């Protein structure tokens, strides 16, 4: 039987995880395939849409200015990285420019994780940079907005996270990036899967 829905997700790999993570979970391409497959599998969708085929393609981005052909992908995921999203290295400038085109011109859904969401913010005009307070790592309780409460079905979320900042116009946004693939990331990926499938 031919799948009724085919989704091609281009995973833009922006680094290699540290060795203990690499040994336990594999590289970023393997990790995000697993998480996205689980997110799609966990969806409670109608019987008509149960035959979804998800395809992934891997694109190594560090030092590489080649971007996937946007006509051949349905969605893009940018991984984390030790590199600075605000740096002017050629590959970082190229990926930022290409992400801008993907979102604004081609209207592709783009998901960024850590470094990836900073690239996405930069591509859309936000000023990104290092948190002036330095790195913080802790288990942090997040109080959700009304929209967040509706999306996640609870008032708070907690996870091990590190704070970052972005400037959008005159608004300074402090946000949290996940340091581990936790239940929050899984919930976010399920939400992303629902948006991609529009269910």
The residue ranges of every structural domain in the chain are 5-125+181-197
Torsion of CA 190, 38, 66, 27, to 10 degrees: 130
- CATH code for the part of the protein at 5-125+181-197: 3.40.50
pTM, two decimals, is 0.70
128-171 pLDDT, tens digit each? 888 776 655 445 666 777 876 776 677 876 654 444 444 434 43
Neighbours of 62 (CB within 10 A): 15
């Amino acid at each position: 039987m031919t799948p009724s829905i085919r989704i091609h997700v281009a995973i833009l790999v922006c680094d290699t995880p540290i060795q203990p993570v690499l040994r336990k979970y594999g590289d970023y391409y393997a990790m995000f395939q697993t998480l996205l497959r689980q997110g799609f599998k966990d969806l409670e969708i109608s019987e008509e849409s149960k035959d979804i085929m998800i395809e992934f393609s891997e694109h190594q981005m560090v030092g590489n200015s080649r971007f996937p052909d946007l006509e051949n992908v349905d969605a893009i995921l940018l991984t984390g990285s030790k590199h600075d999203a605000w740096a002017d290295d050629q590959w970082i400038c190229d990926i930022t420019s290409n992400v801008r085109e993907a979102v604004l011109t081609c209207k592709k859904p783009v998901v960024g994780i850590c470094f990836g969401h900073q690239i996405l913010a930069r591509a859309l005009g936000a000023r990104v940079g290092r948190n002036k307070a330095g790195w913080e790592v802790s288990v942090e309780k997040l109080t959700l907005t009304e929209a967040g409460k509706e999306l996640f079905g609870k008032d708070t979320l907690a996870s091990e996270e590190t704070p970052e900042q972005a400037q959008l116009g005159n608004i300074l946004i402090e946000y949290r990036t996940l340091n581990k693939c936790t239940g929050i990331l899984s919930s976010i990926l399920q939400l992303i899967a629902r948006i991609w499938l529009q269910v």
